[in-house]
Structure 1
């Protein structure tokens, strides 16, 4: 369950206050947040992840109001319960695909047997490159690795920042299907922010900022 209520944010005292709509998602519900560049989509995503502190308002994941947590407790909660797919890949370039996955598990404080890791990589069609370094991967493989790293620790909430906007129609549909499949498998809420209106029809819940 995800609940957002009376949420606002201000970057500096001389900048406008950004105000966001209330959100309530039941278990496994998905949400698409549309909007042009500059309206605060990524800011909202970062507030939901606890990467920014709101000016006012509530961000609740499960039964936890994340803004009541200490910095250390919030880091621990985020590592265990939130997955993020970024516009730019954040994998460690000195490590292989498999080593990146294991590092993500280590920092989340969770574990997974090698067989299950390989199953996940196979589902995302990157099992054959598990021993390759990051600079040896294609753009599509990097995107699939980003999804794997977001899901491998079985988060309650997956946040995806413009996951399809730079893709052609075929790869857009593929990435979106992978996100939905993994969210369903993990019984996780999926929230996608984008200006890519091609994926609007794939979501029942849509908010436009």
Structure 2
């Protein structure tokens, strides 16, 4: 489960304060956050990921109030409990697809099982790319690798930042199906932020900023 209360944030270079609605999601419940550029969608996502510290308020993920954790404890919690799908690919270019997944598990101190990793890649449709370097992948394959990196450690919260904005309708549908299937498989909360109205029908819970 995930909840937030009285969240606000102020960038050092700005005089305005961003205030966000309270969130309350049960286990495995999903949320779509819609809004135009500049309304604070990415800021909210980074607060939920513990990448930014709120000016006020608190965030609870899987019964842990992350706003009370030390920097070291927060890093460890994020590594194990949170998976992020970024707009830009964050895979290591010097490693193959399979090696990237192994590295992700190494940093979360989880054991690596090659068969399980290949099965995840198979589910995402890129098992045939397992020995390729990331610069050999297409944009669509990189997008799927990004999802694999976000879920390989079985997090309880999956956060996706504009995962479909650069995709055509067919690939938009595929990516959303993959994200929701992986969230269901891991009994994880899925929170997607976007300005892409095409995926609104995929969610029961929709928040507009």
Give the alignment's TM-score, normalised by structure 2.
0.99
**Gaps (5+ residues) in structure 1?**
none
- Residue 198 of structure 1 is matched in structure 2 by 198
SS of aligned partner of 2:154: coil
- Residue 119 of structure 2 is matched in structure 1 by 119
- Residue 137 of structure 1 is matched in structure 2 by 137
- Residue 168 of structure 2 is matched in structure 1 by 168
Q: Is the 8 A contact 1:45 1:161 kept in 2?
A: yes
What is the RMSD computed on CA atoms of the aligned residues?
0.7
SS of aligned partner of 2:59: strand
Within a 5 Å distance, the mapping from 1:3-14 to structure 2 comes to 3-12=3-12, 14=14
Give the alignment's TM-score, normalised by structure 1.
0.99
Cα distance in 2 for partners of 1:128, 1:112 equals 19
User: How far is the alpha carbon of 1:110 from its aligned partner?
Assistant: 1.2
Q: Is the 8 A contact 1:111 1:153 kept in 2?
A: no
Shift in alpha-carbon separation, 1:129–1:7, aligned structure 2, 3 A:
same
User: How far is the alpha carbon of 1:13 from its aligned partner?
Assistant: 6.4
SS of aligned partner of 1:53: coil
CA displacement 1:131-180 (0-9 Å, x = unmatched): 00010000000000000000000000000000001100000000000000
SS of aligned partner of 1:145: helix
Within a 5 Å distance, the mapping from 1:79-90 to structure 2 comes to 79-90=79-90
User: How far is the alpha carbon of 1:15 from its aligned partner?
Assistant: 2.3
User: Is the counterpart of residue 75 in structure 1 residue 75 in structure 2?
Assistant: yes
- Residue 128 of structure 1 is matched in structure 2 by 128
- Residue 97 of structure 1 is matched in structure 2 by 97
User: How far is the alpha carbon of 1:109 from its aligned partner?
Assistant: 1.2
- Residue 26 of structure 1 is matched in structure 2 by 26
SS of aligned partner of 1:7: strand
- Residue 35 of structure 2 is matched in structure 1 by 35
User: How far is the alpha carbon of 1:112 from its aligned partner?
Assistant: 3.4
**Gaps (5+ residues) in structure 2?**
none
Cα distance in 2 for partners of 1:53, 1:198 equals 31
Q: Is the 8 A contact 1:124 1:148 kept in 2?
A: yes
Q: Is the 8 A contact 1:34 1:194 kept in 2?
A: yes
- Residue 189 of structure 1 is matched in structure 2 by 189
Cα distance in 1 for partners of 2:65, 2:76 equals 14
